[in-house]
Amino acid sequence: MREVKTIVTTAGRPDDLSLALAAFACQQLDASFEPRKKRSVRKISQELHAHVIVAGKNRFEYYAFGANEPFFFHPNSAAFRLKRVARGEAEPFLEVVQLEIGDSVLDCTLGLAADAMLAAYTVGEAGRVVGLEANPNVAFIVKQGMQSYDTTELPLTACMRQIEVVHAEAISYLKTLPDNAFDVVYMDPMFEEVIAEANNFEALRLAGEHVTLTDEWVSEAKRVARKRVVLKAHFRSEWFTKYHFQQFERTTAKFHYGVLNV
């Protein structure tokens, strides 16, 4: 099977900034640059059999090979969830993870980082939030997006800037860590049963890595977590019982959280 490479191009009418951003993306991803030459992104992708990163004036976009819509960073649900939390309203994720100021959190499946932003808000500047993303292109888009997304909304901006994005597969990364390296290890490996929270979620599903929970993953997460391991899964998932997570049911939600205290 022919390998799908990644190339970088610009928007239709590139300026100096777009060209500079394209050069940066090429360097970060070890990818080659392809001039746009008035071609559509879809045509470039098909001609070169490639994933395409587009460096625009305001953001990077990622077209996975065969995808019709781009994946790009946007805080999505995190913005209104953080506003609710700041008002003192209940947030199911935070109720389950039970974070304290100064805690460290490892998010094994970062995605669009909405949960990681809530974690960063709660642990504060004294804490640490690391997010793993197995797909290098998705990791690049999310990392650059959180560093440059233009928002005056606080605390959203500070939360985005605080998260450390790491391009790594969860089990491999966990194996590099000592015991009790993080207070909380969080896993959200659901890609097969998608409940869209935003229009961009479908693009993420197509662009990201499809993973499933395994014995090894749970075992490594328990070893690395000092306080607890938290799982997000479809409410009918057998993982809660199989791995002895305490399932927190929510009557109106398609996804439930589970907790393993260690």
Report d(CA 149, CA 83) in Å as an integer: 17
Asked if residue 72 belongs to a domain, the reply is no
112 and 143 within one domain: yes
Asked if residue 69 belongs to a domain, the reply is no
Asked if residue 208 belongs to a domain, the reply is yes
Model-wide pTM > 0.95: no
Quick check: 84 and 118 in contact, CB under 8 A? Answer: no
Q: What is the pLDDT of residue 199?
A: 47
Quick check: 125 and 100 in contact, CB under 8 A? Answer: no
Q: What is the tally of structural domains in the chain?
A: 2
CATH of the domain at 36: 3.40.50.10480
Exposed / middle / buried, residue 150 (Cβ in 10 Å: 0-12, 13-18, 19+): exposed
81 and 54 within one domain: no
91 and 46 within one domain: no
Q: What is the pLDDT of residue 150?
A: 74
pLDDT tens-digit readout, 108-167:
999 999 999 999 999 999 999 999 999 999 999 999 999 988 777 667 888 999 999 999
Q: What is the pLDDT of residue 216?
A: 97
Q: What is the pLDDT of residue 107?
A: 98
Q: What is the pLDDT of residue 158?
A: 87
Q: Look up the domain containing 59 and give its range.
A: 5-63
Q: What is the pLDDT of residue 156?
A: 84
CATH of the domain at 201: 3.40.50.150
98 and 14 within one domain: no
* pLDDT in single tens digits along all 262 residues of the chain: 678 999 999 998 888 999 999 999 999 999 999 999 999 999 999 999 999 999 998 899 999 998 888 999 988 788 889 989 988 999 999 999 999 999 999 999 999 999 999 999 999 999 999 999 999 999 999 999 999 887 776 678 889 999 999 999 999 999 999 999 999 999 998 654 444 444 445 555 555 556 789 999 999 999 999 999 999 998 999 999 999 999 998 888 889 999 999 9
- Tokens representing 81? 């969830």
